[in-house]
Amino acid sequence: MKRNCTYCNEKLEGRVGKKYCSSYCRSAFYYQQNKEKEYSLFKKIDQQLKTNRKILKNYNRAGLVTIRKGKLIKEGFDPKYFTHYWKNSKGQVYLFCYEYGFLELKDNAKSKYLLVIWQSYMDTS
């Protein structure tokens, strides 16, 4: 019975249950398999960041706008995913998804977001 490596298709020698010709092929096979998984952690995070950016961009065409938090959440926005933050002189922390930012505000016990776009004066480095 002829057996071949699962990854590179080379002829296998040795024990009967062997699937790979080398540790490289075994590692490469599992790397490829995990890379192709639809919901890996990094893909999930990246997808949520892209979704957040798209939603913020869509609602912030003017550069500065206030919107109900619930409306963004309904669209798929998740405030736990952001790329960086900026703290203003009042101590307020704006969270950003790339160049689009948001600051949570409370108005009559209702949660809102102030949406902004990254400005050059925010760069403190």
Mean pLDDT of 6-12: 93
The C-alpha atoms of residue 93 and residue 106 are separated, in whole angstroms, by 14
Mean pLDDT of 29-44: 79
Rounded to two decimals, what is the model's pTM? 0.67
The C-alpha atoms of residue 114 and residue 32 are separated, in whole angstroms, by 42
The C-alpha atoms of residue 101 and residue 106 are separated, in whole angstroms, by 17
- Check residue 39 and give its pLDDT: 67
The pLDDT tens digits of the residues spanning 102-122 come to 999 988 888 999 999 999 888
Cα–Cα distances (Å) from 69 to 52, 61, 87, 111, 119, in that order, read 13, 17, 20, 6, 23
